[in-house]
Amino acid sequence: MTLLKKLQWSFGLLLFFFVLPVIAGQLPFNKQASTPITEPEDKQVVYAATNLAEQSALEQTKEETKEETQDQTKVETQDQTQNPSKDPFKVLLLFTHSQESYQPVVKAASGKAAVYDEKTNIFNLKDTISKHFSMNGIQTDVLDVDVMKELKLKGKSFGDSYNFVRPYLEKRLQEQSYDLVIDLHRDSAKKNATTISYNNESYARIAIVIGAEHKNYRWNTAYAESLSAAMNEIVPKISRGVISKSGDNVDGRYNQDLTKEMILIEIGGIDNTGEELNRTIAVIGKAISKSFITGKQQ
């Protein structure tokens, strides 16, 4: 072999090994191997990306809800701290003239007509009053002293009633606080002045008496006027109004100087029946609730 042929042969081999990879890259069975692999669309990845956003939003919502709940709890706790549940509205009842009676009630019980009676009297109304008051959210305590019975036992007169009951009342007010103190009496007036009809029902009228000769006079009067107005809104003219007492031959205090929240109520008169008294007691309970409980919450 000549030198020229050897050179041609060597050049041919070099050309073959140079061109072969190029040719091989164009062949169909090798195209996948030589073409850069494009990652196929992975739907799971897409879904994962969408869920991630939703999950993030969900977690944010949970956090916001948690924060709102915590804030609401803080507000409720703070409100409860600043405005704790109040005790029930508390009323103290006393009966300075404990044996004042109603003739129809005494007659029904014993067959006799009397305006004072040791057994059947205004003092016996305490349970009925407590029941009606309780129905209106009022807690009722009773100064459980039969004043007129005690006066007789100690040889004292009717005129000593207010002075006699005073230390009992004073002691109770030192021991407990009340939103309203009511001294209940029976008026001596006759039926035409102490009875009223409304919606075909008859009621015992009331009058509220305030002693005008002491420092609490204006406070007591304000309570009396508020209750009187509330009663008349329920049953027109059931209250005869607020009567101020001062001067000679009257007490002028009625122990109302012991507390600003004390009033004296004359409920009915000597001719009123038990049914009339019961209806009026119900009205008093509703009026106390309307004037001193519900009205303050609105």
Question: In the predicted model, what is the mean pLDDT of residues 265-285?
Answer: 98
pLDDT at 9: 59
d(CA 145, CA 220): 23
Range with lowest mean pLDDT among 9-13, 84-88, 183-187: 9-13
Q: What is the mean pLDDT of residues 87-116?
A: 95
* pLDDT above 60: residue 30: no
Give the bridge partners for 204, in sequence order. 195
- Beta strand pairing status for 138-142 and 195-198? unpaired
What mean pLDDT is reported for the chain? 81
Residue written as tokens 């008051």? 133
Higher-confidence position of 1 and 280: 280
Instruction: Place 13 in a pLDDT band, splitting at 50, 70 and 90.
Output: low
Determine phi and psi for 241, rounding to 5 degrees.
105, -175
- pLDDT tens-place string over residues 168-225: 999 999 999 999 999 999 999 999 999 999 999 999 999 999 999 999 999 999 999 9
Task: Name the band, by pLDDT with cuts 50, 70 and 90, for residue 87.
Answer: confident
Task: Specify the pLDDT at position 294.
Answer: 80
Torsion of CA 50, 51, 57, 58, to 10 degrees: 160
pLDDT at 147 over 60: yes
